[in-house]
Amino acid sequence: MISKEMTISEILRRYPETLPVFERHRLDCYDCQLADIEQLEHGATVHKIDIESLLRELNGSIKI
pTM for the structure as a whole = 0.88
> What pLDDT band is residue 35 in, cutting at 50, 70 and 90?
confident
- The answer to whether residue 31 scores a pLDDT higher than 70 is no
Q: Which of 33, 56, 52, 36 is nearest to 44 (CA)?
A: 52
Mean pLDDT, range 18-22, rounded to an integer: 94
Task: Report the phi/psi class of residue 50: left, alpha or beta, with left for phi > 0 and alpha for psi in -120 to 50.
Answer: beta
Q: How far apart are CA 37 and CA 56, in angstroms?
A: 22
Do the beta carbons of residue 58 and residue 20 sit within 8 Å?
A: no
Name the residue with higher pLDDT: 6 or 33.
6
Task: Spell out the residues 6+ positions from residue 24 whose beta carbon is closer than 8 angstroms to its own.
Answer: none
